[in-house]
Amino acid sequence: MSYGQNSYDIDPYYNGHLHEKYNPAQIDFSKEYLQSRIKSYNNEPDKLAQTVKYDFSPVWPGGNWEQNGVIGPDYQRIQFHIDTVIKSTVNPYIYLVTGKSKVNNNICGFKGEIKLLSVFLSDSCDYSEYKNCGGLFANYTFYEDSSQNHSGVFKGVTECCIYLENTSKTVKVDESSGIADGYWNRSFIGTWTGYKSNKVKKCIWGDYRLPFTFDFDCGDGEMHVCDQYVKNGWQTFGDGSEYIALGNDKFEIKDKWWLTKNNNCRLMG
């Protein structure tokens, strides 16, 4: 089968049709994701220059939640938590980031940056309860501790649904459609490259649905891990056992693993 090189009309979150245009064996989909998603804004003007004075740092921190993702061709589960985000005092387009990732019981800290690329805004969005809503695109590079075994670099592009708070001059994540079918947000699409091995692996994570994961997700309205990948760290994902019910349809993660002082990195090549 031949795969199109400019097939940016396919929704990267619609995994059921991705194989018609893209090669599942491809490792890095950051370019395809960026071009496909920016195209969806129908040539609207990029408003980054007008909004760069705002503080984007509230967009990415994880708070009391984690993000889930996949790493490698077997879609091994990787969990992420971004701890701190600080706007650079030197370059207003750059945000300095610290966080941790987790594969199985192995936790590794990382530091790096997010660099703003584009902002698309509208007075109203059909999915949002806010005005001045839209999408944010950025590049990211996160460096794990090079002194640890099997550590490396995460690199790629990220997209987030956002809205502007004009009074405080801040940008925040827009979760208005958080209970909707097919919901995704704060997606990171790229690769992990080992320092010593130079081995490159697909690595994609975010809030809920994940793009360019092909036969990994068998869900309809919600993300549902296909049977052949459940054994790769997904055994308790989605069955409710990872959460504590607080009442009023509110939940909390039981294991706040990112609070640990351990930094042993993942035991993988």
Domain map (residue ranges) of the chain = 24-259
Question: Looking at the predicted structure, is the pLDDT value of residue 256 above 70?
Answer: yes
Inform me whether the pLDDT recorded for 9 exceeds 60.
Answer: yes
Average pLDDT over residues 245-250: 81
Asked if residue 193 lies in contact with residue 200, where contact means CB atoms within 8 angstroms, the answer is yes
Q: How far is CA 191 from CA 81, 103, 259, in A?
A: 17, 15, 25
- In this structure, the number of other CB atoms found within 10 A of the CB of residue 181 comes to 10
pLDDT at 75 over 80: yes
For residue 30, give the nearest of 108, 153, 185, 137 by alpha carbon: 137
pTM attached to this predicted model: 0.93
pLDDT band for 50, please (50, 70, 90 cuts).
very high
> What tens digit of pLDDT does each residue of 130-174 get?
888 999 999 999 999 888 878 899 999 999 999 999 899 999 999
Q: What is the average pLDDT value for the chain, to the nearest integer? A: 90
Write down the pLDDT at residue 89. 97
Assess whether pLDDT exceeds 80 at residue 56: yes
